[in-house]
């Protein structure tokens, strides 16, 4: 039986690289394919973030506001946003883990109010803190918040990587 399987595997031809057009080079085709995968991953991340933010996070925040009271809302909102970014990072990491950096860059540029990430405001606070020390507390608070949010996204992506199965052997 094993020889039959080996014979069939030997008869198989190596897979052909399919290109978009026959006149294009393999490099151009590979670059186009990787670009398409990257765009798909980023769009998937935006859709996942939108669904998680509006359907899950905002509902849980509304319910938590009744139970915990008003002083706890910013803390709960940050925790839910970090959880949502972990879930988004995990979903993106399952498709393509390396595109999470590009997704984080798109979040830093524009996030549509989905998450409290505002890199231009962080740089503005940094410049203002050099001019006046009263901005230092706001700068460090904003910096720690951004570290938590981006860290949550990257932690979610690292949790999505495939692990090698553990094989237990008895000697």
pLDDT tens digits along 115-130: 999 999 999 999 999 9
Handedness of CA 153, 154, 159, 160 (dihedral sign): positive
Provide the pLDDT confidence category of residue 20 given band limits of 50, 70 and 90. Answer: low
- What average pLDDT does the chain have? 84
Which of 57, 91, 84, 80 has the alpha carbon at shortest distance from 159? 91
With bands split at pLDDT 50, 70 and 90, how would you rate the model's confidence at 81?
Answer: very high
Buried b (16+ CB within 10 A) or exposed e, 35-71: eeeeeebbebbbebbeebbeeebeebbeebeeeeeee
8 A C-beta contact, residue 55 and residue 122: no
* Distance from the Cα of residue 89 to its chain's centroid: 3
Q: How many CA atoms lie within 13 A of 141 on its CB side?
A: 9
* Domains of the chain by residue range: 19-159
**How much is the average pLDDT of 33-48?**
89
In the chain, what percentage of residues exceed pLDDT 90? 52
Between 170 and 145, residue with greater pLDDT: 145
Distance CA 116, CA 114 (A): 7
50-76: pLDDT as tens digits: 999 999 999 999 998 888 888 889 999
Question: In angstroms, what is the C-alpha Rg of the chain?
Answer: 23
Q: d(Cα 50, Cα 44) in Å, to the nearest integer?
A: 10
**Tens-digit pLDDT profile for residues 84-109:** 999 999 999 888 778 899 999 999 99
């Amino acid at each position: 039986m094993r020889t039959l399987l080996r014979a069939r595997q030997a008869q198989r031809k190596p897979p052909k690289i399919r290109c978009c057009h026959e006149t294009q080079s393999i490099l151009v085709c590979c670059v186009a394919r990787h670009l398409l995968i990257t765009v798909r991953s980023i769009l998937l991340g935006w859709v996942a973030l939108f669904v998680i933010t509006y359907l899950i996070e905002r509902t849980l925040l509304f319910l938590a506001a009744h139970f915990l009271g008003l002083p706890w809302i910013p803390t709960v909102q940050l925790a839910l946003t970090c959880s949502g970014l972990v879930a988004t990072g995990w979903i993106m990491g399952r498709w393509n883990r390396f595109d999470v950096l590009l997704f984080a860059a798109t979040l830093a540029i524009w996030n549509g109010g989905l998450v409290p990430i505002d890199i231009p405001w962080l740089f503005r606070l940094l410049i203002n803190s050099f001019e006046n020390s009263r901005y230092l507390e706001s700068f460090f608070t904003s910096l720690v918040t951004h570290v938590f949010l981006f860290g949550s996204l990257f932690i979610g992506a690292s949790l999505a990587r495939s692990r090698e199965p553990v094989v237990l052997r008895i000697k």
